[in-house]
Amino acid sequence: MNKDYVRRIQENISISYDKSLILSENGEIVKIKKNEYWLSEGKEADKLAFIIQGAMRSYVMNEKGEEINLLLQVNQDFIGDYESYISGKKASFYIKALIDTELFVISKKSIDQLGCQDAFWIDFKTKMSDYAFLEAKRRIEDLLLFTPEERYLNLVKKSQEVLQKIPQKYISTYLGITPQSLSRIRKRIMK
């Protein structure tokens, strides 16, 4: 893996260059074309990834067969089915590339092996799970405390990158509304 990649991994997760070098030796770079899956429901999902460059979405199907986006991820974000990762269950959702994307992928096995060599990586694992929880908690508060319009404004404030890279029809179900409603919300806000 070249030096540039190691640096980007380092930036992604704010650890030392040395540690990111070790990490990079235990994972791999995967390139995914637009609209290709990195993960599908029912498949093994015992690995996690960071987005080095690109954009992806994690979604489930509702009872009507509509895709509902649980997460929209861009540069520096983690992706993966964290539930499968920790429990060994099959994946419960899909992860698909919104544009051509480069991932750094590492398996559970590799992370666990690193943990045996250096307690740093046990700590690292804890931080990852804490991060996953905190993200989820923020999402719950966003959904409970704000209206769809406020949620959209929160997203505008929080991530220009998501707004620019990701089509509205995906953003809408992430916010819990239909694409038509998001279009009308944007119109309302314009004024």
Binding site partner of 139, from its own copies, DNA, none, Cβ cut-off 5-8 A by kind: its own copies
* Binding residues for its own copies, total number by CB under 8 A: 26
- Per DSSP, 89 falls in state P
130 is an interface residue for its own copies by CB under 8 A: yes
Burial class (CB in 10 A: 0-12, 13-18, 19+), 100: middle
Three-state DSSP state, 35: coil
Q: For residues 129-158, which are near DNA according to CB under 7 A?
A: 147-149
Nearest approach in angstroms of CB 49 to its own copies is: 18
* Binding positions for its own copies, 67-106, rule CB under 8 A: 68, 70, 82-83, 86-87
Closest contact distance (angstroms) between CB of 46 and its own copies is 14
Nearest Cα neighbor of 108 from 124, 131, 85, 126 is: 85
DSSP strand pairing (78-79 vs 28-32): unpaired
10 with 16: CB under 8 angstroms? yes
Q: By C-beta, is 74 or 177 nearer to its own copies?
A: 177
Which of its own copies, DNA, none does residue 148 bind to, with CB < 5 to 8 Å depending on kind? DNA
Task: Based on the shown chain and the rule CB under 8 A, indicate whether residue 62 belongs to the binding site for its own copies.
Answer: yes
Question: What is the spatial distance between Cα 50 and Cα 148, in angstroms, rounded to a whole number?
Answer: 29
Residue 141 interface partner, choices DNA, its own copies, none, CB cut-off 5-8 Å depending on type? its own copies
Give the DSSP H/E element, type plus range, for residue 121: helix 120-145
- Residues within the interface to DNA (CB under 7 A): 147-149, 167-169, 176-187
